[in-house]
Amino acid sequence: MPAGSFHIVASVCVVASSGRVLVSRRAEGKEYPLAWEFPAGSALRGESSRRGAVRELDEEVGISVLPDDLVLVGRVVEERALFDLWAVHVDGEPEVVVDPEEVLEAEWVELDEVRRGWEAGVFATPWNARFEQLWDALETAVRNDA
């Protein structure tokens, strides 16, 4: 990418009606192999962050949501990316169908477990700064207090 250029990385925290959230583990062949994260990826040329988030969620874990159902948790300005974290509330705990090229496995967990995993270093390294900046807003979005 040319100097001064940014790309958009969009991620989705899927919140089940049980209150649990979906985390996915990166496939072995990816950067940050076997690390945990929320489903995420780069928006395509001409694609909004919201639409990129919806597409990545469907591609990586087979969960389809409507763009208008996403709520922006926040944006982190990174060295080469604008990182947007979205939240979406869904009925039940939808069945997950992972793309094995992208995701090794996915689990529904309590948000407290996400925090413990972050603090234990099991999330992909870029998530450290993301969680530091967005954690309070994420807790609010998961509890649906927004």
CA 120, distance to chain mean position in Å, is 18
Q: Could you tell me the two tokens for 31?
A: 């950067």
- pLDDT tens digits, one per residue of 58-99: 999 999 999 999 999 999 999 889 999 999 999 999 999 999
d(CA 13, CA 72): 10
Give pTM, 2 decimals.
0.94
Coil, helix or strand at residue 141: helix
d(CA 11, CA 47): 14
d(CA 51, CA 64): 11
